[in-house]
Structure 1
Amino acid sequence: MRKPNGYGSIKKLSGKRRRPYVFVVTQAGRQKPIAYFCTQVEAEIYAADYNKIHTNRSLPGHKMTFAELYYRWLPAHIDNTSPAESTIYSYKNAFLHCQPLHTKIFADIKYVDYQHIIDNMRRHGLSYSSVKKVRSLISLISKYAAKIEASDKNYAQLLTLGKNKPVRPHKVFSRQKINRLWTHTDSPGVDTVLILMYTGMRCSEMLNLDKSDVNLRQQYIRITKSKTAAGLRIIPIHNRILPLVQARMKMPGQTLIADDNGQPYNYGRYATIWGHVMTLIHASGHTTHDCRHTVTTLLDNAGANENAKRRILGHADGDVTDRVYTHKNLRQLRKCIELLK
């Protein structure tokens, strides 16, 4: 579609740039850059909004594509819900799986188009969890489309995901492997695996921990950033990992888990550390989530109180409305966590 005179234009700059697309307008006979973007779609959205505000006009006959709707929805959703970084990453990954839909007019997309995306993912061996995230994204975008009156259709609940067969069942760490971790506490990253092993935290929860979330005097960790509401909880610090936590508290940086320069780890950087530790203790094939399954199994074997175990792990069927724990509650949780040997 040809843009009207004075609308401005989008150019792609040469070289390797993080934001290679620039929206420019003509002022006093010269082109002036207004803003830079990672993708052309983001630049097109900005151009449309810019002209609505500054020139009070829109492109005639414009219809919103799937990609444009996504790029409009995501910042609004982040502002309204403040999702975790891992959740935002899953949205972006799900959007990439929907690539065949990116340039389609959103209002023209039918059930069969969405189902084709799901079916194609399963044919290529992607997990039930992956296709479920794509369905969730489709539902969220469709609800946003209804809100801004771009479409009133939501096919998400009609989509068939197939059977939920785990790609790789989680494995519990053996006592031998746990003992090997304790013999290598001076090796880089081993302390972080032991912290996961004696708290039941999700890896993302550990990486998001600020030092202000750690109470050394009363010896507990407060989880303030989690993928679920039930995940917001308190975990007593097991006596065996207390020295490891204390050592981490003395290191540079705002977060508990940081490198020697005080820089926090994202999951990608931490995965490298995890891999080195697993090689060190001869435990290939394990994932970070296996630590949570190990904690669950060991507490079950030790006859732990079920309610206390749920609170420590942050499971939704526990009493998640009690956000301020009494000393008695904390003692009960500590009694439970100390069952780990």
Structure 2
Amino acid sequence: MPKKQKHPNLPNGYGSIRRLSGNRTNPYAVHPPVTDYTDKGIPITPRALCYVADWYVGFAVLTAYKAGTYTPGMEQELAKMRAVDDGDLSLFTKNILANLQVLRNDPEEQVMTFSDLYKEYFHWKYEGKKKYSQSSIDGSRKGFRNCSAIHNKKITDITYQMMQDILDSCPLKHSSLEFMLSCMKQCFHYAYAQGYIEKNPTELLRINIPEDDEHGVPFTEKDLATLWDHEEDDIAQHLLIMCYSGLRVNELKVVTVNLDNFSFSGGLKTPSGKNRINPIHSSIQNIVSERLKKYGCLMPNSYSYLNKNMNSYLPSLGIEAHTPHDCKHTFSMLCEKYGVRENDRKRMLGHKFSDVTNDVYGHRALEDLRTEIEKIPCCKRVANEPLIFQNNPI
């Protein structure tokens, strides 16, 4: 089998040349630059301009396309030029150089678009040695996708007012605007650091609508007792783990579980959340152990699986509708009701301290936190007795 030939990498925003599978007369598909993206920010390859037998003919087509001199069918003439030896400098090479000169003399072609900038920034940040969570990557892509109004604009033409108007007129929720604002700021901060722009236009950007995050509604003690009645159910186990640990639903996929000392470590969002170590409440230790043994993890399914199935599962038990985030509010409510120290409550929730004393000098051993979390009782119904909370032994 002949060795696959390597070709030079094309510049950003130049288009693409794909070699197609199979035995074809013209195996190279020549595509213009990407202009559209999926809902997840993934580039959608445009329809091919043409199909050619030689990669360099494809390169000549893209060069003509960028220079504005390409016409359909030109690839046939370029292929003929490529096949003819015209002395020291062939007609084919002269054609490429002529179009490159057009591009070189066009100042507009020297400036990248916001899409070009985002691709370069994304590669620099997310494809380097440092690893980021999938939620961080998805958030960046969402922010870029919702900035579609400036995707094809030259970065030197994008002004502060243009971006502020986009944020102000966007009908999306506050959380989506946060992703957009972050995308704009980080991309232009990168562009300024690279010397692509002389001034960062995003310094004064802001979101001018109030936060619309809904406050959570904790599960009641009766709700928790009902969940314990069905603790063998998959959805009930998810909810009980979160209600008695303070973990976010997405953290069920990233925390490290240590069954030797029954603890969770890690988390998401803030440094305080990512670096915390929480004891596993005695009431859910068996559930955690069984899920690790059965699935190898706490949450084998996706967030959407839990969110979707909760909508039908909870009403079937006679429990009002809740979101997964309500479990975190439930844990906070239990801590407050049963006298868990406020500082330890914040630590286990992954919240940042506002005072230097606790933020820098506050240190609590795992067993200290375990003493506090075990103040929260486990509610299980006892036959023929009223509903009461009783502490589990450690």
TM-score range, shorter chain: 0.7 to 0.9
SS at match of 1:257: coil
Shift of residue 320 of structure 1? 6.0
Shift of residue 306 of structure 1? 1.8
Alignment of 1:109-120 (within 5 A): 109-120=158-169
CA–CA distance in 2 between the matches of 1:252 and 1:145?
Answer: 44
1:68 to 116, 133, 151: 116
Shift of residue 100 of structure 1? 0.8
In terms of Rg, which structure is larger? 2
Task: Report the equivalent of 1:10.
Answer: 31
CA–CA distance in 1 between the matches of 2:200 and 2:194?
Answer: 14
Task: Report the equivalent of 2:54.
Answer: 30
Shift of residue 83 of structure 1? 2.4
Gaps of 5+ in 2: 1-12, 18-28, 59-65, 67-95, 378-394
Say what the alpha-carbon RMSD is for the aligned residues: 3.6
Question: 1:130 aligned to 2:151?
Answer: no
Identity %: 26
1:207 to 244, 249, 253: 253
SS at match of 2:334: helix
Question: 1:188 aligned to 2:244?
Answer: no
Task: Report the equivalent of 2:293.
Answer: 250
* Per-residue deviation, residues 40-68 of structure 1 (Å, max 9, x unmatched): xxxx9xxxxxxxxxx9x895342211111
Shift of residue 284 of structure 1? 4.8
* Per-residue deviation, residues 235-267 of structure 1 (Å, max 9, x unmatched): 1111110110010111144x3321xxxxxx333
Contact kept? 2:167, 2:207, Cα under 8 Å:
yes
Task: Report the equivalent of 2:45.
Answer: 21
* Per-residue deviation, residues 248-299 of structure 1 (Å, max 9, x unmatched): 111144x3321xxxxxx33333433443433334445422221112211221
Task: Report the equivalent of 1:262.
Answer: none
Normalised TM-score (structure 1): 0.75
CA–CA distance in 2 between the matches of 1:142 and 1:3?
Answer: 22
SS at match of 2:132: coil
* One-letter amino acid of the counterpart of residue 244, structure 1: I
CA separation of 1:11/1:152 partners in 2, compared to 1, >3 Å: closer, same or farther? Answer: closer
CA separation of 1:152/1:298 partners in 2, compared to 1, >3 Å: closer, same or farther? Answer: farther
SS at match of 2:112: coil
2:145 to 96, 103, 111: 96
Question: 1:77 aligned to 2:125?
Answer: yes
* One-letter amino acid of the counterpart of residue 67, structure 1: S
Contact kept? 2:31, 2:45, Cα under 8 Å:
yes
Shift of residue 178 of structure 1? 1.5
- Higher mean alpha-carbon deviation, 78-87 vs 131-140, is at 78-87
* One-letter amino acid of the counterpart of residue 156, structure 2: A
Task: Report the equivalent of 1:339.
Answer: 375
Structure having greater relative contact order (Cα 8 Å, sep ≥ 6): 1
Contact kept? 2:240, 2:284, Cα under 8 Å:
yes
Question: 1:272 aligned to 2:308?
Answer: yes
CA–CA distance in 2 between the matches of 1:173 and 1:182?
Answer: 12
CA separation of 1:108/1:208 partners in 2, compared to 1, >3 Å: closer, same or farther? Answer: same
CA–CA distance in 2 between the matches of 1:20 and 1:131?
Answer: 24
Shift of residue 217 of structure 1? 2.0
Question: 1:178 aligned to 2:224?
Answer: yes
CA separation of 1:305/1:114 partners in 2, compared to 1, >3 Å: closer, same or farther? Answer: same
SS at match of 2:283: coil
CA–CA distance in 2 between the matches of 1:217 and 1:83?
Answer: 28
CA–CA distance in 1 between the matches of 2:370 and 2:223?
Answer: 24
SS at match of 1:250: helix
Task: Report the equivalent of 2:382.
Answer: none
Normalised TM-score (structure 2): 0.66
Shift of residue 206 of structure 1? 1.0
* Per-residue deviation, residues 141-194 of structure 1 (Å, max 9, x unmatched): 011111222113333342242242425332122112212211111222210111
CA separation of 1:284/1:116 partners in 2, compared to 1, >3 Å: closer, same or farther? Answer: farther
CA–CA distance in 2 between the matches of 1:229 and 1:72?
Answer: 26
* Per-residue deviation, residues 57-114 of structure 1 (Å, max 9, x unmatched): 8953422111111111112111265322112111111112111111111111112211
* One-letter amino acid of the counterpart of residue 145, structure 2: L
Shift of residue 11 of structure 1? 6.0
SS at match of 2:119: helix
1:293 to 329, 340, 345: 329
Gaps of 5+ in 1: 35-43, 45-54, 259-264
Task: Report the equivalent of 1:38.
Answer: none
Task: Report the equivalent of 1:41.
Answer: none
* One-letter amino acid of the counterpart of residue 335, structure 1: T
Figure out how many residues of one structure are paired with residues of the other and give that number: 296
Contact kept? 1:84, 1:227, Cα under 8 Å:
no
Shift of residue 205 of structure 1? 1.1
CA–CA distance in 1 between the matches of 2:14 and 2:218?
Answer: 60
Task: Report the equivalent of 2:3.
Answer: none
CA–CA distance in 2 between the matches of 1:218 and 1:301?
Answer: 26
SS at match of 2:264: strand
Contact kept? 2:242, 2:249, Cα under 8 Å:
yes
SS at match of 1:235: strand
